[in-house]
Amino acid sequence: MKNHRTLLIKFILGYAAAGLLAFVFAVFGAERLSSSYLLDKEADRLLDHARRLRVSYESGFADEEERLAYIASYASGMECTVWITDARGTIFADSAWNGVPHEPVPTSFSPVDFGRNSWQTGDFFGSFEKEMLSVYVPLTSQYRTVGYIIIHEPVSSLREDTDHAVSLTFMATAIAFVLTGIILFLIFLFHVTQPMKKVTTAVNEYARGNLSYKADVRSHDEFRILAEALNDMSSRLAQTGEDQRKFIANVSHDFRSPLTSIKGYLEAILDGTIPPEMQQRYLSIVLDETGRLTKLTSNMLELNNFSGGTYLTYTDFDINAQIRAAMASAEGQARGKDISFELVTSKKELFVTADQTRISQVLYNLIDNAIKFSHQGGRITVETSANHGLAFISVKDEGIGISSADQTRIFERFYKTDASRGKDKKGTGLGLSIVKEAVEAHGSTIDVISTEGVGTEFIFRLKLAERELEGFL
């Protein structure tokens, strides 16, 4: 649980850091955006007032006092300062004069200082001690600029509006951050922490050897996929453990039987239980049992080589000639049961690319297996054909067949059907396992078709040699 709390704390700290960063950007961003937006809006408002004032001003006044009084009244309603200047920037009307005539006041600015902008912020060329928003519109007569109407407003009032907007933004962001944090915390707690705890518990149970434990994660996310993968792994490990126990039991059984026979016969010879004239016969049995042990050990080493990733030496060779050689090697064994061989080929020579030694072993094991399970006087047919760049090799017998239940297990190491254990005491139960490993090492597969009481057929495929492919083109 400590790891879960640590992860949760990291999540909270990370979220807090991200929230703080978001706050900084939100506040500063809101301030800049709000300030710019409000300035634009206020400048547009003041410009609109300046244009209205220009219309009223250009309509004429009875005298100077009336004009000044109007300007002072207008500025008072807007809470701002209004100037009327001539074309050179000299002030000859100011709302601050409150309707009292003054002499024109020269200023330190020139209308050309405005540039192309119709408003600006600052002290207006040193005219004010505080920051002002200043807008202007030209006064024209006969298509000539004869003066300007300039309106000044303190920026401080806009700053208050900006600060208010920023405060609202800050409050909204803070509320959203807290609510989002609570929601994310609950999501993390129920959809991350708890599933992770269940997965961790499952892993610890597996480490203690309890492979029957199942991680019960019901969420529809990656944790469920992980839990299902762990459950599948535990099932496979349990099956592997069971297979190992069966493997050890089978090895013990297949080693114990010949060793018991050898020990019994040798002890009987040594203590005189078996008379001298019978010793030759029983020594031959001991020799046969020794050969059985040798073959079993050799097959186990062969399978171990395949499990470790055996190296294959690919060459081009005639598979039909290799089959004939395997048949010749098994001829003596077949003669004992009066079994005949038949080779069916589409052409005299059929070249494949494979490891010749391994394929020779495959053919020998398949033919040897067919002989074991064939009836007296039966026939074994080996057939080859070519199609789609592959050579198809079939080994078929007319023997006792294999049940549907046994067909799924015959390639397992040390697996023997009941009929095999009853009739073939010398079998190791590794022959078909070696066949399967060798064929799969070539990147191919082997299939079995069998009917009880009718016979069995094994089919595997090999790549055709380049010379054969050229013949198809």
Per-residue pLDDT of 229-259, as tens digits, reads: 888 888 888 877 776 776 676 667 567 767 8
Query: The domain 2-160: what is its CATH number?
Result: 3.30.450.20
Give me the pLDDT at residue 425, please.
46
pLDDT at res. 316: 93
Q: Can you give the pLDDT at residue 246?
A: 65
Secondary structure of the chain in the HEC alphabet?
CHHHHHHHHHHHHHHHHHHHHHHHHHHHHHHHHHHHHHHHHHHHHHHHHHHHHHHHHHCCCCCHHHHHHHHHHHHHHHCCEEEEEECCCCEEEEHHHCCCCCCCECCCCCHHHHCCCCEEEECCCCCCCCCEEEEEEEEEECCEEEEEEEEEEEHHHHHHHHHHHHHHHHHHHHHHHHHHHHHHHHHHHHHHHHHHHHHHHHHHHHHCCCCCCCCCCCCCCHHHHHHHHHHHHHHHHHHHHHHHHHHHHHHHHHHHHHHHHHHHHHHHHHCCCCCHHHHHHHHHHHHHHHHHHHHHHHHHHHHHHHHCCCCCCEEEEEHHHHHHHHHHHCHHHHHCCCCEEEEEECCCCCEEEEEHHHHHHHHHHHHHHHHHCCCCCCEEEEEEEEECCEEEEEEEECCCCCCHHHHCCCCCCCCCCHHHHHHCCCCCCCHHHHHHHHHHHCCCCEEEEEECCCEEEEEEEEEECHHHHHHHC
* Residue 1, pLDDT score: 43
Q: Which of these CATH numbers, 3.40.50.300, 3.40.50.720, 3.30.565.10, 3.20.20.370, describes 311-472?
A: 3.30.565.10
Residues in the chain predicted with pLDDT less than 50, given as ranges, are 1-4, 418-425, 473
Q: What is the pLDDT of residue 350?
A: 92
CATH number of 222-305: 1.10.287.130
pLDDT of residue 275: 85
Per-residue confidence (pLDDT) for residue 353, from 0 to 100: 93
- Hey, where are the domains in the chain? 2-160, 222-305, 311-472
pLDDT score at 65: 73
